[in-house]
Amino acid sequence: MGARRLLLVSNSTLHGGGYLEHCQKQIKDLCGEKVKRVLFVPYALHDRDAYAKMAREKFESLGYGLDSIHESPDPVEAVRKAEAIFIGGGNTFRLLKTLYDNGLVQPIRKKILEDGIPYIGSSAGANVATISINTTNDMPIVYPPSLIALGLVPFNINPHYLDPDVNSTHMGETREKRILQYHEEPNTPPVLGLREGAMLLVEGTKATLQGKTGARLFVRGNSPTEHEPGTDFSFLLTEEP
């Protein structure tokens, strides 16, 4: 796993900014000058043409060309030729189902974990980079053949993590309670709750929390812990999926 280079972002748009604006520096640092074109995976949204147009405009503004995988006659070959991969947000179930339908799970794993090309995932794209999508916030509008995801890291992520509102009269389960329920099941991996504006940079065996906000870490059998930007999360990478 030493070759992997990942940027796992909680959200694509942060309040007060434009699309990917809050993480564009990290994207450029990850891709560098070696990458000329990025392969975009728009499967999480229904209107893939509009999604690709938005992503293309953003990446071109950063100096990168963008090819959308839904425009390719051979998605597997598109992955094999990719210099970098960006998977955007939307519905995680739809995204993972389409990855399975197109036979892309293993080819993407190979490109990221063996060939070491950069991977950028925002929201649903961060979800599918993990062991499974069990801790997504999305509704299962479609059914993938498995909830097992790309397994680029040996833990799960909860993007858009929300803290309980102390002033709310809502009596439903908080995000924290739902994750704790997940950990009531045996052999469940850690879950990193990324707040809006937070992102995790993974370089080989090193993982660092970046962005403007912190994260909440849930480990089965332990109390949740709070972490600020700059936290070294490399210990989460010690058990490979």
From CA 17, how far away is CA 88, in angstroms rounded? 17
Active site residue 138: yes
State yes or no: pLDDT of 157 exceeds 80.
Answer: yes
Dump pLDDT digits (tens) for 21-30: 999 999 999 9
Identified catalytic residue from 122, 123, 132, 183: 123
State yes or no: pLDDT of 136 exceeds 60.
Answer: yes
- Domain segments of the chain: what residues? 5-237
State yes or no: pLDDT of 168 exceeds 80.
Answer: no
* pLDDT, mean over the chain: 94
Alpha carbon 2 to its chain centroid, in Å, reads: 19
**Position of tokens 């597997």?**
76
Given pLDDT bands bounded at 50, 70 and 90, which one contains residue 2?
low
Q: Identify the burial level of 239 via C-beta atoms within 10 angstroms of its C-beta, where 0-12 means exposed, 13-18 middle and 19 or more buried.
A: exposed
For the ranges 75-89, 143-157, 160-174, which has the lowest average pLDDT? Answer: 160-174
Q: Could you tell me the fold of the domain covering 5-237? A: Rossmann fold (3.40.50)
Q: Kindly state the tokens that stand for 6.
A: 């990942």
Identified catalytic residue from 12, 122, 138, 183: 138
Active site residue 123: yes
Dump pLDDT digits (tens) for 190-207: 999 999 999 999 999 999
State yes or no: pLDDT of 171 exceeds 80.
Answer: no
Q: Determine contact, residues 212/9, Cβ cutoff 8 Å.
A: no
Q: Identify the burial level of 68 via C-beta atoms within 10 angstroms of its C-beta, where 0-12 means exposed, 13-18 middle and 19 or more buried.
A: buried
Q: Kindly state the tokens that stand for 188.
A: 């469940």
**pLDDT-above-70 percentage for the chain:** 95
DSSP secondary structure letter of residue 66: E
Identified catalytic residue from 160, 170, 183, 227: 160
State yes or no: pLDDT of 241 exceeds 70.
Answer: no
Q: Please give the pLDDT value at position 71.
A: 97
Predicted TM-score (pTM) of this structure: 0.94
Dump pLDDT digits (tens) for 54-63: 999 999 999 9
- Which secondary-structure segment (H or E) carries 51? helix 48-61
E strand segments, 59-188: 65-68, 85-87, 118-122, 156-158
Alpha carbon 219 to its chain centroid, in Å, reads: 19
- Which secondary-structure segment (H or E) carries 70? none
Task: Give CA angle at 177 (7, 185), nearest 5°.
Answer: 85
